[in-house]
Amino acid sequence: MPLAFSQTTQSAARVVASAADAPAAAPFADRLAAVVAARESQVVLGLDPDPARLWPQAVRAAPADGPPAERAARAVAAHCRALIDAAGPACAAAKPQLACFERLGAPGWAALAEVVEHARAAGLLVIADAKRGDIAVSAAAYGQALVGATPTPFGDAPGLGVDAFTASPYLGVDTLDVLLGAARAARAGMFVLVRTSNPGAADLEDLELAEGGPLWARVAAIVDALGAGAPQASEAGFSGPGAPGHSACGLHDVGAVVGATAPEHVARMRELMPRTVFLLPGIGAQGGRVEDLAPAFAPHRAAGLVTASRSIATAHEQRPDATPEAAARAEVERLRAAAWALA
Amino acid sequence: MPLAFSQTTQSAARVVASAADAPAAAPFADRLAAVVAARESQVVLGLDPDPARLWPQAVRAAPADGPPAERAARAVAAHCRALIDAAGPACAAAKPQLACFERLGAPGWAALAEVVEHARAAGLLVIADAKRGDIAVSAAAYGQALVGATPTPFGDAPGLGVDAFTASPYLGVDTLDVLLGAARAARAGMFVLVRTSNPGAADLEDLELAEGGPLWARVAAIVDALGAGAPQASEAGFSGPGAPGHSACGLHDVGAVVGATAPEHVARMRELMPRTVFLLPGIGAQGGRVEDLAPAFAPHRAAGLVTASRSIATAHEQRPDATPEAAARAEVERLRAAAWALA
């Protein structure tokens, strides 16, 4: 590892610069590039809270009574806030897994909204890991839920207000187009599943097509085209680098989820998607190694984002001498430094 | 149309028999077969509430003040309850579209839970239209959210408790397996997207594979195998038709979403999935015609489910003389009779 300076000193320096420093109206890719540069980090903090495995102080912070879902949701929110406070300064973004909040029902969604707000206040971009995909009219509703607002007879109901979200491509380009339209209206980003980190990725994503190449390569071409098809400033009635989808840093607002567990594909994906931000899950608990991902980072420091969740949140289980906060901080800093050294 | 008797009389007769009459422990397919037979209906009532297009009395039922999302969620719940009361007696199931509730945040999820409960109390099975798909650990969380419960330090937090849900296959069999395990533990069903009703279905679902046939046919084979792989009664430690996944009616607990907008594929899908329940969206607003779907119903009355939402909820917009309730009732009865005449 080439970094010789103190982890603590460096983390403290990074905490002052944050996504909040980039203008809110800048496109997602530019806001991402700014926070990656300021924090010298491509790490995305996964927030996958399991109510049965929360940090002890978060469990103690729950109300003394009430329905289990309500108490657990309060504990989940406290856990995520503490994790963001401990590990966030070494990260560029936070990625809440929506399933983990949905399972606590309405109180879980209230906790999700609170966690999104806390992460943004901590200077992190927020990527909602939703993997949504539906026909146009429903995709529009998901867009309202994630990055937009819903007109009602009582006024607009705001959505989560995240900076980006993940989406599933199975239903085709028309459904992705609707989600992307919602994202661009909010200057947000969208990460499309291309090749995921699970063993089952072989079942459909790797299927060889009659036209040649695997299914994931076709999806990669769609992702590249959607990103390249960002409206030009003049067409959209905007001008300059703040126009929707048109970034100053050169990266697209349509990213790709590319599992870190199959690094042999990463170089080929980079050829197919030269200006796409790769979201790279599968490091740590799923077996992927950050050292294998160099092609992801080749075009730009912000072109590869390394996500980790359980390996950070449960780091203290391997280190009985450390508090959850200290263990999480050490683990995220290790990952940050390893990724930054590659880029 | 061969039915000569009064719609009103028949609806009133059907309302007494309902899903509630089948034992709760029966597998999904048997509960479905029971309610289809009792109500002489294969219609699934889609619940896709748009807060800007609710029935007037539902808007009036909202609280006089509070945040827009809270007021809109109360109006959405009132709208869905009224729609269930009006159209539900001619239906076998209700299908809430989760996007439409999520966009109202935590109050929207509270409304969703209330609507699920109301539909079940009205004798309908409930199919959550979620189209979820995620890696194993997150798929397990979605399973808890939809059909299971989440262990917490404060006791179990119950999920939505629906009878079935829709799922996306892109990530592969391991992720579907986890969702199916959750469904079977609750004696619920799962409907996998095979070929959807939107124009973009051509982009990936119709792609020709090197092995021959389109991608959707491979997904159909997976759906058939997952359904056929239901544990036998002896293996699972149960006996009789109540064993998980093992139905008395012969239909599988793994269904398929098959768009009614491409009826030319339905016969081939039935060959590939002879014991699979087809959920057939796309009738009405999306242009599909129920008369084109006969092969879906061939193996069993309950083997084809026709979904409609906007065409029922907005029927009064074409009939200024009718109340929303009366227009919805007439439209759903028209669809019910047309489908039943085919089966």
Q: How distant is the Cα of A173 from the closest Cα of chain B, in angstroms? A: 6
pLDDT tens per residue, range B148-163: 999 999 999 999 999 9
User: What are the residues facing B45 on neighbouring strands?
Assistant: B94, B308
Nearest CA in chain B to A142: B99
- CB pairs < 8 Å spanning A and B: 271
What backbone phi and psi angles, to 5 degrees, belong to B256? -135, 135
B203 interfacial to chain A (CB closer than 8 Å):
yes
**Spatial separation of the C-alpha atoms in residues B282 and B197, rounded to whole Å:** 6
B173 interfacial to chain A (CB closer than 8 Å):
yes
pLDDT tens per residue, range A202-259: 999 999 999 999 999 999 999 999 999 854 333 433 333 334 457 999 999 999 999 9
Residue pair B99/A145 in contact (Cβ under 8 Å)? The answer is yes
Which has the higher per-residue pLDDT, B287 or B231?
Answer: B287
CB-based contact A106 B97, cutoff 8 Å: no
pLDDT tens per residue, range B3-52: 233 333 344 444 434 444 555 689 999 999 999 999 999 999 999 999 99
Provide the percentage of residues in chain A whose pLDDT is more than 70: 88
B contact residues 41-100, partner A, Cβ 8 Å cutoff: 48, 51-52, 54, 59, 62, 67-69, 71-72, 75, 97, 99-100
The token pair at A6 is 């103190």
The token pair at B284 is 């009405």
Average model confidence (pLDDT) for chain B? 89
Residue pair A22/A31 in contact (Cβ under 8 Å)? The answer is yes
The token pair at A27 is 């496109």
Residue pair A161/A125 in contact (Cβ under 8 Å)? The answer is no
**Spatial separation of the C-alpha atoms in residues B58 and B83, rounded to whole Å:** 10
Helical spans, DSSP H, in chain B: 7-16, 28-39, 56-60, 68-87, 98-102, 105-121, 136-146, 173-185, 215-228, 233-236, 266-272, 294-297, 310-313, 324-342
pLDDT at A292: 85
CB-based contact A198 B113, cutoff 8 Å: no
Of A97, A134, A154, the CB nearest to B138: A97
CB-based contact A193 B170, cutoff 8 Å: yes
Query: What is residue A62's three-state secondary structure?
Result: coil
Which has the higher per-residue pLDDT, B139 or A22?
Answer: B139
The pTM (predicted TM-score) of the whole model is 0.91
Got the DSSP string for B35-64? HHHHHT--EEEEE---GGG--HHHHHTS-S
Average pLDDT (A256-285) is 90
Average pLDDT (A96-100) is 98
The token pair at B243 is 């064993």
The token pair at B272 is 């590939």
CB-based contact A152 B48, cutoff 8 Å: no
pLDDT at B234: 35
Residue pair B266/B249 in contact (Cβ under 8 Å)? The answer is no
pLDDT at A7: 39
Which has the higher per-residue pLDDT, A16 or B137?
Answer: B137
Lowest-pLDDT choice from A195-204, B112-121, B245-254? B245-254
pLDDT at A34: 97
Q: Is A131 one of the catalytic residues?
A: yes
CB-based contact A106 B113, cutoff 8 Å: yes
A182 interfacial to chain B (CB closer than 8 Å):
no
**A146: pLDDT confidence band, cut at 50, 70 and 90?**
very high
Provide the percentage of residues in chain A whose pLDDT is more than 90: 80
One-letter amino acid at B64 equals: A
Of B108, B157, B209, the CB nearest to A72: B157
pLDDT at A118: 98
**Spatial separation of the C-alpha atoms in residues A336 and A319, rounded to whole Å:** 19
**Spatial separation of the C-alpha atoms in residues A328 and A91, rounded to whole Å:** 12
Residue B60: burial class (beta carbons within 10 Å; 0-12, 13-18, 19+): exposed
CB-based contact A196 B171, cutoff 8 Å: yes
**A24: pLDDT confidence band, cut at 50, 70 and 90?**
low
Identify which of A252, A170, A281, A261 has the alpha carbon closest to the alpha carbon of residue A216: A170
Residue written as tokens 């959807």?
B196
CB-based contact A172 B51, cutoff 8 Å: no
Q: Which of A103, A173, A314 to mutate to test the interface with B (most CBs of B within 10 A)?
A: A103
CB contacts of B48 in chain A (<8 Å) are 137-138, 141
Of A129, A154, A173, the CB nearest to B71: A154
Handedness of CA A318, A321, A327, A330 (dihedral sign): negative
Average pLDDT (A320-331) is 96
A211 interfacial to chain B (CB closer than 8 Å):
yes
**B104: pLDDT confidence band, cut at 50, 70 and 90?**
very high
CA-based max dimension of chain B: 61
B268 interfacial to chain A (CB closer than 8 Å):
no
pLDDT at B181: 96
Is 90 exceeded by the pLDDT of residue B278? Answer: yes
* Length in residues, chain A: 343
**A14: pLDDT confidence band, cut at 50, 70 and 90?**
very low
pLDDT at A230: 53
Residue pair B127/B93 in contact (Cβ under 8 Å)? The answer is yes
**Spatial separation of the C-alpha atoms in residues B95 and B126, rounded to whole Å:** 6
Average pLDDT (A259-279) is 92
Nearest CA in chain A to B142: A99
A208 interfacial to chain B (CB closer than 8 Å):
yes
pLDDT at A284: 72
CB-based contact A171 B196, cutoff 8 Å: yes
pLDDT at A207: 98
CB-based contact B138 A156, cutoff 8 Å: no
**B230: pLDDT confidence band, cut at 50, 70 and 90?**
low
Nearest 5°: the CA angle B250, B127, B109 is 155
Is 60 exceeded by the pLDDT of residue A319? Answer: yes
Of A129, A150, A200, the CB nearest to B103: A150
Of B135, B200, B208, the CB nearest to A196: B135
pLDDT tens per residue, range A79-92: 999 999 999 999 99
Residue written as tokens 């289980």?
A317
Of B105, B139, B159, the CB nearest to A109: B105
CB-based contact B99 A222, cutoff 8 Å: no
pLDDT at B163: 98
CB-based contact A133 B131, cutoff 8 Å: yes
Q: Out of A103, A131, A218, A334, pick the active-site residue.
A: A131
Is 70 exceeded by the pLDDT of residue A47? Answer: yes
Average model confidence (pLDDT) for chain A? 89
Identify which of A190, A194, A308 has the alpha carbon closest to the alpha carbon of residue A255: A190
Residue pair B28/B187 in contact (Cβ under 8 Å)? The answer is yes
CB contacts of A72 in chain B (<8 Å) are 150, 152-154, 157
The token pair at A77 is 């929110």
A134 interfacial to chain B (CB closer than 8 Å):
yes
CB-based contact A153 B59, cutoff 8 Å: yes
Average pLDDT (B280-299) is 84
B180 interfacial to chain A (CB closer than 8 Å):
no
The token pair at A194 is 């291309």
CB contacts of A169 in chain B (<8 Å) are 170, 204
A103 interfacial to chain B (CB closer than 8 Å):
yes
Residue pair A131/B133 in contact (Cβ under 8 Å)? The answer is yes
